[in-house]
């Protein structure tokens, strides 16, 4: 495959979902069967992206393929110089993998939704929305510049708004959509400012050009503080989109959308966009920025995991687990474990999509029951859903032989190495705590939902396994959560093709003195391999951390699972009693750290209060000024009105009156009698003759 | 014997003219007014002929007098037609009362 073919392929993949969206949204009302076209289009896009992946990996394993064109030429703008804005596509290994992941998950969600959404009154429109959402996400994946990234970023925001608020008749859904949109906007402001910092200095949006200039020592406004600021600000966009603390609050609420939408948005696409953005800008992150990112990620993971412990809504648990796992990825990027972050993004996409779709299957079977306290014993009724759910749970808990173990283990090793090299031991500590908590709450979910005895017999009797179109995606995703797809050795991710050849940690471009020490390649090694980006020190640290991390993660995961079984399966321990004993902590977790309340009290009420102030200001001051000017205008017009009535009209009327008076006084001469006129004529002639004396 | 000269003609003409004007101004009947106009015209005719006879102007004055007579006939015809129409409209030919031009 030639480069241009790959580029054309990627453009076709990008625009196919948009085409589907346009057709379905325009003609969907007349031809309700058009949703099948949308599903088919996604199928084609999936096949094409697989082809693109194969083409990329067989012919261009180490090359990036870039195609761009100049979108806007501003010529020589005064004070700025020549300004060209380029749009373009860049296909590297990460892009190729992401294309397949996004299209695969999107396709499976489409297929799944055929059954799940059947009977909805806006059935075709739902598929149209899925199409535009997929289009936006593919745009983010393919772009080679920040501007397009931002455009598609916002498109994802809009389409997620449409999807989350799909059942907008429900107030909670409409509110959730609004919340997701507004909270995301807060992060986007930061991202926008960050982009503008870079653009103002470099006059380009293109990633590679910016990185090239940074590598050449040209820092934004000449200081690495600005570079750190730009990195953190752009990362703020990811904080919003990838639901990082403190902007994670929208994601759990977004569960109001249809469950397949949750699977699409919260597994592979929207929330992955944030991580993907950080992956893209990874090379320009300074040590300070990376530390901020690591801390934010670790804290997010911890907060979300503690909240997930006590949630009773099956989708809420998964939502917080998503937030927690995203925190993992972000933390992983922060500690420099770039490849593992992306690896976890991919594995997480599969098992989390599987979990969401599995929960959708359960909800479908239980007639929209979402409270896990009312479930139980579903294992017998829904074996396929149960086993796929179990596989994904094992994966997310970090049990060996499943994909999650590989990526999670790598991340944990990365944090350990980071702790050893920099002394920030808190981050690995948080990471391992989260690993234990994850295993615990995921098994709590599985046990309460599928094991034990049914609590709601009426609903249990009616429960049934979902039809084939819903179970097939589950099986496929569960199969993709097994280690064999990523590496032949289930305990060594490094041995696999994914980590060994596909995804390489790129060379940092930040100035040496603002990098972490371990991010600086040692000169000798760089010469030998040409690609090694870490110091020997780091390689040693990773090597050192590998087995301890694996052992520890196994222990904590096993512990978490064991405790979950003790509590909920064997009932050796009583969860309710413990909850009473730790009332304070329990309530704290159940109420999500009171973050919503805190935001309500500060941000929402602050906004409302300040709007009220502004409204008062508007009412009293601005309106006062406007009304005052109106009053002045009216007063002056009244004055000039008086002038008009008395002076101008007076003059006019006087002239009319004067003419009338003259007319009246000469009226008497006009008798209408011809003879009188003749007398006048005669006397006039005599008068003329006598006085003018012509002779 | 008294030589009849230009002055006599002019005096007669002036008398006729004055009588005509007097008639026009004082008579109420439109027909009488027309007759006054005829007198004025004839006074002018006498002047034309007299100047033609005593002056050194050739026969131009007499020719014009003929024209005036023709014109007077035409004028009388039109004027009488008007008077007839006035009579039809107002049931009289009293010029005092035909003052509708006023206002």
| The predicted structure's pLDDT at residue A695 | 57
In the prediction, which pLDDT does A529 show?
Answer: 43
Segment among A213-227, A291-305, A441-455, A514-528 with least mean pLDDT: A514-528
Please compute the mean of the pLDDT values over residues B46-63 and round it to a whole number. 87
A527 has a pLDDT exceeding 50? no
Specify the pLDDT at position A654.
92
Highest mean pLDDT of the ranges A43-47, A315-319, A652-656: A652-656
Q: With a threshold of 0.90, does the pTM exceed it?
A: no
DSSP states along A226-268: HHHHHHHHHHHHHHHHTT-TTSTTHHHHGGGS-HHHHHIIIII
Q: How confident is the model at residue B101 (pLDDT cuts 50, 70, 90)?
A: low
Of the candidates A27, A24, A45, the one whose C-alpha atom is nearest the C-alpha of residue A35 is A24
Whether A417 and A535 have beta carbons less than 8 Å apart is answered as: no
Model confidence at B12, pLDDT cuts 50, 70, 90, reads very high
**pLDDT at A533 exceeding the cut of 60:** no
When comparing pLDDT for A675 and A626, which is higher? Answer: A626
C-alpha A650/C-alpha A337 separation (Å) is 92
d(CA A251, CA A504): 30
Looking from the CA of A668 toward its CB, the CA atoms found within 13 Å total 3
Chain B residues close to A671, C-beta within 8 Å: 99, 102
ipTM of the predicted assembly exceeds 0.90: no
**Residue A523's pLDDT is what?**
46
Per-residue pLDDT tens over the stretch A132-182: 888 998 888 888 888 888 999 999 888 888 888 888 888 888 888 888 888
* CB contact (8 A) between residue B25 and residue A679: yes
Residues of B in contact with A672 (CB under 8 A): 99-103
CB-facing half-sphere around the CA of B58: CA atoms within 13 A: 3
What is the token pair recorded at A260? 């397949």
Share of chain A above pLDDT 70, in %: 93
Overall average pLDDT of the A241-259 stretch: 84
Selected residue with higher pLDDT from B68 and A124:
B68
Instruction: Please answer whether residues A541 and A387 qualify as being in contact, where contact means their C-beta atoms are separated by less than 8 angstroms.
Output: no
Q: Quote the minimal CA–CA distance from A682 to chain B in Å.
A: 8
SS3 A362: helix
**Mean pLDDT, all residues of chain A:** 82
pLDDT class for A406, splitting at 50, 70, 90? confident
Is A672 close to B101, i.e. CB distance below 8 A?
Answer: yes
A314 and A370 Cβ atoms separated by less than 8 Å: yes
- Tell me the C-alpha to C-alpha distance, in Å, between residue A388 and each of A11, A110, A353, A362, A401: 34, 19, 11, 12, 15
Instruction: Give residue A532's pLDDT.
Output: 45
Q: Would you state the torsion angle of the CA atoms of residues A499, A501, A502, A508, taken in this order, to the nearest 10 degrees?
A: 80
pLDDT band at A520 (very low <50, low <70, confident <90, very high): low
d(Cα A352, Cα A329) in Å, to the nearest integer? 14
pLDDT band for position A530 (cuts 50, 70, 90): very low
Q: What is the pLDDT of residues A640-680, one digit of tens each?
A: 999 998 999 999 999 999 999 998 888 877 777 778 888 88
Comparing alpha-carbon positions, the chain B residue that sits nearest to A678 is: B25
End-to-end CA distance of chain A: 124
Distance CA A105, CA A18 (A): 17
> Can you give the pLDDT at residue A659?
92
The model's confidence at residue B45, banded by pLDDT at 50, 70 and 90, is very high
Query: Residue B81 has what pLDDT?
Result: 94
**Which residues of B lie closer than 8 Å to A, measured between beta carbons?**
21, 24-26, 33, 95-96, 98-103
Distance from CA of B64 to the nearest CA of A (A): 23
Secondary structure class of A297 (helix, strand, coil): helix
| Best-predicted range by mean pLDDT (A112-121, A243-252, A279-288, B41-50) | B41-50
Which chain B positions have a beta carbon within 8 Å of A675's beta carbon? 24-26, 33, 95-96
Domains and CATH numbers, chain B: 6-93 (1.10.287.3510)
Residue in the block written with tokens 């200001």: A617
A630 to chain B, minimum CA–CA distance in Å? 51
Contacts of B100 in chain A (CB under 8 A): 672
Output the CA angle A480-A482-A488, nearest 5 degrees. Answer: 115
Query: Residues A305, A392, A47, A39: is their CA dihedral positive or negative?
Result: negative
- Lookup: tokens for A488: 């032949």
């Amino acid at each position: 495959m030639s480069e241009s073919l790959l580029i054309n392929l990627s453009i076709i993949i990008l625009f196919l979902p948009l085409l589907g969206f346009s057709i379905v949204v325009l003609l969907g009302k007349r031809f309700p069967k058009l949703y099948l076209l949308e599903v088919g289009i996604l199928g084609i896009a999936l096949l094409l992206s697989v082809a693109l992946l194969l083409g990329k990996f067989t012919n261009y394993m180490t090359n990036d393929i870039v195609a761009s064109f100049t979108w806007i030429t501003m010529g020589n703008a005064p004070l700025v110089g020549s300004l060209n804005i380029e749009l373009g596509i860049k296909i590297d290994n990460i892009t190729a993998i992401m294309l397949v992941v996004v299209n695969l998950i999107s396709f499976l969600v489409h297929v799944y939704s055929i059954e799940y959404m059947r009977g909805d009154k806006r059935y075709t429109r739902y598929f149209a929305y899925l199409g535009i959402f997929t289009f936006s996400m593919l745009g983010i994946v393919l772009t080679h510049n920040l501007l397009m990234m931002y455009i598609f970023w916002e498109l994802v925001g809009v389409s997620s708004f449409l999807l989350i608020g799909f059942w907008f008749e429900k107030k909670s859904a409409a509110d959730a959509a609004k919340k997701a949109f507004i909270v995301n906007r807060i992060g986007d402001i930061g991202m926008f400012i960050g982009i503008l910092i870079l653009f103002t200095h470099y006059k380009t949006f293109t990633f590679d050009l910016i990185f090239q200039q940074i590598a050449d020592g040209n820092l934004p406004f000449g200081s690495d503080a600005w570079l750190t600021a730009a990195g953190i600000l752009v990362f703020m966009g990811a904080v919003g989109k990838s639901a990082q603390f403190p902007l994670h609050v929208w994601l759990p609420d977004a569960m109001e959308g249809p469950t397949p939408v949750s699977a699409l948005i919260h597994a592979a696409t929207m929330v992955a966009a944030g991580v993907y953005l950080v992956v893209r800008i990874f090379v320009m992150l300074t040590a300070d920025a990376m530390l901020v990112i690591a801390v934010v990620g670790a804290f997010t993971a911890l907060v979300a995991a503690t909240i997930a412990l006590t949630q009773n809504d099956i989708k809420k648990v998964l939502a917080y687990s998503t937030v927690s796992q995203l925190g993992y990825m972000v933390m992983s990027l922060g500690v420099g474990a770039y490849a593992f972050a992306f690896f976890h993004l991919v594995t997480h996409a599969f098992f989390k999509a599987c979990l969401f779709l599995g929960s959708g299957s359960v909800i479908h079977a239980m007639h929209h029951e979402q409270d896990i306290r009312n479930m139980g014993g579903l294992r017998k009724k829904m074996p396929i859903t149960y086993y796929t759910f179990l596989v994904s749970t094992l994966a997310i808990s970090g049990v060996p032989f499943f994909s999650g173990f590989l990526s999670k283990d790598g991340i944990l090793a990365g944090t350990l190495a980071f702790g050893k090299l920099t002394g920030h031991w808190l981050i690995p500590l948080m990471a391992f705590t989260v690993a234990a908590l994850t295993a615990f709450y995921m098994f709590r979910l599985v046990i309460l939902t599928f094991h034990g005895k049914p609590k709601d017999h009426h609903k249990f009797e009616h429960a049934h396994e979902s039809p084939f179109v819903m179970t097939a995606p589950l099986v496929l995703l569960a199969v993709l959560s097994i280690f064999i797809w990523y590496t032949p050795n289930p305990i060594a991710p490094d041995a696999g093709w994914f980590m060994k050849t596909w995804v390489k940690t790129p060379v940092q471009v930040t100035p040496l003195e603002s990098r972490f020490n371990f991010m600086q390649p040692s000169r000798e090694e760089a010469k030998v391999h040409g690609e090694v980006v870490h110091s020997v020190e780091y390689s040693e640290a990773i090597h050192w951390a590998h087995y301890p991390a694996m052992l520890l993660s196994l222990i904590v995961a096993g512990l978490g699972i064991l405790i979950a079984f003790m509590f909920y399966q064997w009932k050796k321990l009583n969860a309710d009693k413990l909850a009473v004993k730790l009332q304070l902590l329990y309530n704290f977790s159940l109420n999500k750290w009171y973050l919503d309340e805190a935001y309500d009290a500060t941000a929402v009420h602050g906004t409302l209060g300040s709007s009220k102030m502004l409204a008062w200001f508007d009412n009293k001051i601005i309106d006062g000024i406007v009304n005052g000017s109106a009053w002045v205008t009216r007063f002056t017009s009244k004055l000039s009105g008086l002038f008009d009535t008395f002076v101008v009209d007076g003059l006019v009327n006087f002239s009319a009156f004067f003419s009338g008076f003259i007319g009246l006084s000469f009226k008497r001469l006009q008798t209408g009698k011809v003879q009188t006129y003749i007398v006048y004529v005669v006397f006039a002639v005599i008068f003329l003759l006598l006085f003018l004396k012509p002779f | 014997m008294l030589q009849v000269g230009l002055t006599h003609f002019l005096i007669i003409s002036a008398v006729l003219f004055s009588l005509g004007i007097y008639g026009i101004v004082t008579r109420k009947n439109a027909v009488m007014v027309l007759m006054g106009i005829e007198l004025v015209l004839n006074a002018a005719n006498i002047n034309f002929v007299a100047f033609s006879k005593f002056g050194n102007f050739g026969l131009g004055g007499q020719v014009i007098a003929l024209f005036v007579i023709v014109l007077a006939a035409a004028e009388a015809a039109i004027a009488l037609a008007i008077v007839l129409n006035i009579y039809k409209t107002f049931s009289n030919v009293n010029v005092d009362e035909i003052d509708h031009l006023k206002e």
